A and B are shown apart, each in its own frame.
Chain A
Amino acid sequence: MIRVRDLTVTFHRGTPMETPALRGLDLDMPAGQFLTVIGSNGAGKSTLLNAVAGDVVPLAGNIVIDDADVTRWPAPRRSGLVARVFQDPMVGTCETLTIEENLALAAARGRSRGLRRALDRELREEFRARLRELGLGLENRLGDRLGLLSGGQRQAVSLLMATLRPMKVLLLDEHTAALDPKTADFVLELTNRIVAEHRLTTLMVTHSMRQALDFGERTVMLHEGRVVFDVAGNERLGLDVPDLLAEFARLRGQALTDDALLLG
């Protein structure tokens, strides 16, 4: 369960560059919900994710995950509750470490790291089994440097790393935006499968309205740092991309020819 209340984030505060990113955003998510977040550039999608992950410190408001108020927790402390897949495959994985070392890092998430060997046979067996589920043949390449993998493969491993250990919320930050369409579809299907299998509470930010409606069970639209549109259930099933675009246009008070191209 996540409860975000009155979340306010301002960048470059007190300077001429001052930019309000979130302006008192409220959001409630019950456990197990798969939520997709859309919005134009600058709407605050990524800032919301960064705030939940602990990379951005809010000016006001609070974030509660289950019963813990995590608003002031730094990112590493939240890592037992929050797992994340970044937009850029380079950010989410460590290219100079091997596949198994990356997974071992993720396997230790949320517990204290001591001097025990990071890898043992049992762990390798687990990694092999989980990698096999990806269907990419990576189970035979445990000792390969991660930098040798393609963007799609890296993003698949990122997803595996994020879901390797239990967490309270999974954050997906346009995690298919840097991939070619075919690979993006593969990673999305994989996401869908893993989320469904483990009943993960998931917050997926996307640029694509198609994705936002096709995946998950609820969609919110952000605009100027607030939730302006929130749809789930039957009402959502009846929606199509043009409806969302119309909603966008209504918000902006103008026709969105450019965004229609971008977001279709």
Chain B
Amino acid sequence: MSLVAFLGAIEIGLVFGLVGLGVFLSFRVLDFPDLTVDGSFPLGAAVCATLIVGGVDPFLATAAAVLAGGLAGLVTAFLNIRFNILHLLASILTMIALYSINLRIMGRPNVAIITEPTVLTAFEGLSLPYLYLKPVIAAVVVIAAVLLVARFLASDYGLAMRATGANPRMARAQGVETKQTTYVGMAISNALVGLAGALFAQMNGFADVTLGTGTIVVGLAAVIVGEAVFGARTVLGWCLACVAGSILYRLAVAFALNADFLGLQASDLNLVTAVLVTIALVLPGARNPFKNLLTGRANRRSPGGAQQ
């Protein structure tokens, strides 16, 4: 595998580490299976790219993408909490609506920003080869996000959010406004995914309405690979594992695609991902020989009640 391919895998792994972190918050912490991310990822990209093309400062455009992602999460939470729509279905409704909204935002299916200034432009003055610039900036953003999320989950409010997902009745008895924590958690989760979309668009020079397909599966893969391989025991460990899982997953994919004897094409990626995630889902917990092999322990700790 060439250095370019390797760094490319790291970079995309880092960006999708943010998605992993978001999926971790919804699936694991809140126990809220959320497919909104398939819409909020391209939403972040669309908002950011469109604003940049319109001459808005790239940092401001990125912030707007984060906000837009958060709003998408709120819509899903609202559908679920206010109207009692099953969480999975509520998130699919938001996701499908976002497809049209993203097209409206961009005005066309694809916006190129390859020649526009991005958040990367600001750092081009540094004496860092461009090849390394992208992964380094992605790493800084992702690590900042990990630290913030981990610190948040260790706070009184974060603990209340974890209790909301693990045991809502007990949480309410302890004075936790579970509806509110669900709204906040879903907003943060999708805001992170919006940020990922914005970064992706700026690093690759375009936003496309079809970007989101399968985002949720890739995010889940990051969470599952992270849990299986690193078996973390602390909040910070879980958050880091999401990112590390995402990078590992991308590296594995890059290796597989590079290995000619496997005969895989780039277009097989989604199939391979789906198969991987399925295997990880049907073989969970103590009786999973693969998991024991990887973690060396029979029992895993999970932050929410969402043991599969």
A residues in contact (CB < 8 Å) with B: 53, 55, 75-77, 79-80, 83-84, 86, 91-97, 101, 104-106, 108-110, 113-119, 145, 161
Contacts and interface: CB of A to CB of B under 8 A. Distances in A.
Nearest to A54: B172
A115 B152 contact: yes
A104 B166 contact: no
A95 B302 CA distance: 10
Nearest to B152: A115
B155 interface: yes
Given A53-B173, A105-B171, 16 more contacts: A55-B172, A76-B175, A84-B173, A91-B169, A96-B162, A96-B305, A101-B159, A105-B163, A105-B176, A108-B156, A108-B174, A109-B174, A117-B155, A117-B156, A118-B156, A119-B154
B160 interface: yes
A157 B127 CA distance: 57
B176 A145 contact: no
B124 interface: no
B31 to A, nearest CB: 10
Contacts of B167: 91, 93-95
Contacts, number: 96
A164 to B, nearest CB: 10
B305 A105 contact: no
A63 to B, nearest CB: 16
A108 B173 contact: no
Contacts of A105: 159-160, 163, 171, 174, 176
A66 B158 CA distance: 32
B170 interface: yes
A110 B173 CA distance: 10
A113 B176 contact: yes
Contacts of A101: 159, 162
Interface in B126-166: 152, 154-160, 162-163, 166
B157 A79 contact: no
Contacts of B163: 94, 97, 105
Contact of A116 (B155, B170, B301, B302): B155
Given A96-B302, A97-B166, A114 B157 contact: yes
12 contacts: A84-B173, A91-B169, A93-B170, A94-B171, A96-B162, A96-B166, A97-B162, A97-B163, A105-B176, A106-B174, A115-B158, A118-B154
A161 B155 CA distance: 18
B33 to A, nearest CB: 17
Given A76-B172, A76-B177, A119-B154, A95 B159 contact: no
Name A's interface SS.
loop
Contacts of B157: 113-115
A79 B175 contact: yes
Interface residues of B, number: 28
Contacts of B160: 105, 108, 113
A76 B173 CA distance: 6
B170 A92 contact: yes
B304 interface: yes
B178 interface: yes
Most A CB atoms within 10 A — which of B155, B167, B178, B303?
Answer: B167
A55 B171 CA distance: 12
Nearest to A96: B166
A96 to B, nearest CB: 5
A80 B152 contact: no
Given A76-B177, A94-B163, A96-B302, A113 B170 contact: no
Interface string B254-268: 000000000000000
A118 B158 contact: yes
Contact of B174 (A77, A79, A117, A145): A79
A77 B156 CA distance: 17
Contact of B170 (A91, A108, A110, A119): A91
A245 B18 CA distance: 64
Contact of A96 (B169, B175, B178, B304): B304
A114 B25 CA distance: 18
Contacts of B174: 79, 105-106, 108-109, 161
A141 to B, nearest CB: 14
Contact of A118 (B159, B170, B302): B159
Contacts of A95: 166-167, 305
Most A CB atoms within 10 A — which of B170, B175, B303?
Answer: B175
A84 B175 CA distance: 11
B172 A117 contact: no
A115 B169 CA distance: 22
A114 B154 CA distance: 11
Most B CB atoms within 10 A — which of A55, A91, A94, A145?
Answer: A94
